[in-house]
Structure 1
Amino acid sequence: MALAAISLLCFAALLPFPGLGLPAGSGKLEQVPVRVTVINELTNEQISYSTTVLEEGLMFGALNQLQDTNDGFKFTYTIHKTSGIYLESVNGLAGSDKDQTHWELLSERAGVITRLGVGIGCYQPQRDDNMILRFTTWAKQ
């Protein structure tokens, strides 16, 4: 939950700015190719999508671009006034406190998978990045 709070705060800090985190005076930025892989660890299902994101843009923009251009991909989110964007569901599947499930955000670059330290409102994918949305569980404490 702390990771979610930090990542959402990052987006909230960008809300007052019209460029939504894009560099000021950056001129014309190009669209760069990225991939989004959705993994459901509970059912061992995986599907990958190709899309683009504005160079130096945000994961949130890439997910919106994908949703706008591919009828097979949908996501929902909420915007918390104090903490920013929170990913709720992907393709109709939402995390649940009762079931101890959530969407984990990862990135794969050059074959190395890392857990993101920020959320969809702050992460800036790079050219040919594979953004992984993994539906998983957490252990009871």
Structure 2
Amino acid sequence: MTRKMICLFSFVALLSFVELGLPVKPAEFETYPVKLSIINELTNDKASFTSSVTEGGVLFGVLNNLNGSNGFSYSYSVNNNFGLYLESVNGVAGSDNDHTYWELLTESEGRLTRLETGIGCYQPKKDEHIILRFTKWN
């Protein structure tokens, strides 16, 4: 939770310090590709998408770039304590009763790693493979 709070406070602090040498025009930021895969472990449905992220941008931007196009949609909510929370992808939502949720992962060299932050703070890297996996918890 401390890491999430630091992320939020850092973002707010940077907004007020444009003179720190950060580019001030969107054209000055590099944009690079990101691969996004959707995996539903309960139905074995899979889909892959290619999007882009602006340098320093977050996963929320990647999802927004794809939203409503190419058969991809998602919804989120805002939690007062933890920020943006991914609720559903392509109409499939997690459920407390069914113990299901969307797990956020990154894949590198065949190895999956769970993201330590959510869609509002995670900054994808160039050519990164992000996986949204619908799964159950015990």
Q: Aligned pair in 2 of structure 1 residues 43, 7: CA closer, same or farther (>3 Å)?
A: farther
Higher Cα Rg, which structure? 2
- Counterparts of 1:117 and 1:37 in 2: how far apart (Å)? 18
1:26 counterpart residue number: 22
How big is the shift at 1:97?
A: 0.5
Partner amino acid, structure 1, of 2:99: Q
3-state secondary structure, aligned to 1:48: strand
Q: What is the deviation of 1:66?
A: 1.2
Which blocks of at least 5 consecutive residues in structure 2 are unaligned?
A: none
Deviates more, 1:70-79 or 1:46-55: 70-79
Q: Which residue of 1 aligns with 2:41?
A: 41
Give unpaired runs (5+ residues) of structure 1: none
> In structure 2, how many angstroms separate the alpha carbons of the residues matched to 1:7 and 1:88?
21
Equivalent residue letter for 1:125: P
Q: Which amino acid aligns with 1:45?
A: D
1:83 Cα offset (Å): 1.7
Q: Deviations over 1:61-108 (max 9, x none)?
A: 11111115x241111111122221111000110000000100000001
Letter matched to residue 101 of structure 1: T
List aligned pairs for 1:57-136, cutoff 5 A. 57-67=57-67, 70-136=69-135
SS at match of 2:97: coil
| 1:76 and 1:89 in contact (8 A); partners too | yes
Count of residues paired in the alignment: 131
TM-score normalised by L of structure 2: 0.83
Greater CA drift, 125-134 or 7-16: 7-16
Inter-partner Cα distance in structure 2 for 1:10 and 1:64: 24
Question: Structure with the greater relative contact order (CA < 8 A, sep ≥ 6): 1 or 2?
Answer: 1
Report the CA distance shift for 1:94/1:7 in structure 2 as closer, same or farther (over 3 A): farther
Residues 31/94 of structure 1: CA separation in 2 closer, same or farther (3 Å cut): same
Quick one: which amino acid aligns to residue 31 of structure 2? Q
% same residue: 45
What is the TM-score of this pair, normalised by structure 1? 0.81
